[in-house]
Amino acid sequence: MKIESSLPCPQLPESPPQMGLQFSVATEEDFDEIMAMSQDIYGGLDYLPTRYQAWLQETNRMVILARKQGKVIALESVCVIDDGETVLVEGLRVAPQERGKGVAGVLLRFCAQLVKSKYPDVKATRLTRDDKLGPKDFQKYRLITKQTARFIKYTRRL
Ligand SMILES: CC(C)(COP(=O)(O)OP(=O)(O)OC[C@H]1O[C@@H](n2cnc3c(N)ncnc32)[C@H](O)[C@@H]1OP(=O)(O)O)[C@@H](O)C(=O)NCCC(=O)NCCS
């Protein structure tokens, strides 16, 4: 296992050695690089650009980056709510060229471990997904609610 980290996390999750990922806490300087790998997200309706600065200031939130050869290739935000009992996973994304290789899974496990070490009272993870879950997923997750959103883009002559 080869994972480097600048985070005070005593136990790092297992990762295939060939992934060579480094994890760090996001800073204001990382903004442009994060936006560059987020071009295709939510059909141009990504909420991260407007929330990023505020997220960095929130005391109960961590924004974690995964880098490969120094380049940002994935992001996940974890926010501890419900008096420290629940962690909310938000903003998850992997650079298009790195998808389908298990990067999101490694980042999710890294962040889960980090949260456990920092907030030992956390008992559940809550997240929103827009893909179809299979039986394997439902061994891990319990459905809270289903909601369908339809986005329609309009344009108007000025
Ligand atoms: C969804 C996305 C992050 C998956 O990245 P990936 O590196 O190709 O995914 P992996 O190959 O690691 O495999 C999927 C793993 O991520 C998990 N996953 C996928 N989408 C997820 C989501 N929205 N929230 C939490 N976990 C998710 C799967 O359960 C699986 O976990 P497992 O390893 O524990 O089984 C990537 O396709 C992406 O960036 N898409 C565009 C942005 C997006 O849709 N983000 C999700 C917001 S709802």
pLDDT, tens digit, 9 for 90 and up, residues 117-149: 999 999 999 988 888 888 888 888 888 887 777
Ligand 1 probe mutation, 99, 113, 131, 132, most atoms within 8 A of CB: 99
Residue 138 lies inside a defined structural domain of this protein: no
Domain assignment of residue 30, yes or no: yes
**Rounded mean pLDDT, 101-123:** 94
Question: Looking at the 3D structure of the chain, how many domains does it have?
Answer: 1
Other beta carbons within 10 Å of 86: 16
Read off the DSSP letter of residue 131.
Answer: S
In this prediction, residue 16 has a pLDDT band, given cuts at 50, 70 and 90, of: low
Q: What would the pLDDT profile of 60-96 be if each residue is shown by its tens digit?
A: 999 999 999 999 999 999 999 999 999 999 999 999 9
115 in a structural domain: yes
Return the higher-pLDDT residue of 9 and 107.
Answer: 107
What beta strand segments (E) does the chain contain? 4-5, 21-25, 61-68, 71-81, 86-94, 124-127
150 or 143: which carries more pLDDT confidence?
143
Q: Is 115 in the pocket of ligand 1 (CB under 6 A)?
A: no
CA of 156 to the centre of ligand 1 (A): 35
- Vertex 92: Cα angle to 50 and 96 (nearest 5): 100
pLDDT at residue 129 in the model: 83
Domain assignment present for 26:
yes
Q: Helix (H, G, I), strand (E, B), or coil: what is residue 60? A: coil
Confidence (pTM):
0.86
The domain that contains 50 carries what CATH number? Answer: 3.40.630.30
39: left (phi over 0), alpha (psi -120 to 50) or beta: alpha
Q: Is residue 147 part of a domain?
A: no
42 CA distance to ligand 1 middle (Å): 14
Look at ligand 1, atom 5, and give the residue with the nearest C-alpha: 104
Please indicate whether residue 78, judged by its CB atom, sits closer than 6 Å to ligand 1. no
Which domain covers residue 94, as residue numbers? 4-129
Q: Is residue 146 one of the residues assigned to a domain?
A: no
Residue 8 has pLDDT above 50, yes or no: no
Rounded-to-integer distance, Cα 81 and Cα 61, Å: 9
Question: Which tokens hold the place of 53?
Answer: 């600065």
Highest-confidence segment of 14-18, 102-106, 130-134 = 102-106
Q: Is 95 in the pocket of ligand 1 (CB under 6 A)?
A: no
Does residue 151 have a pLDDT over 80?
no
User: Is 10 part of a structural domain of the chain?
Assistant: yes
Task: State whether the beta carbon of 105 lies less than 6 angstroms from ligand 1.
Answer: yes
- Distant-in-sequence, close-in-space partners of 58: CB < 8 Å, separation ≥ 6: 79
In a domain, 155, yes or no: no
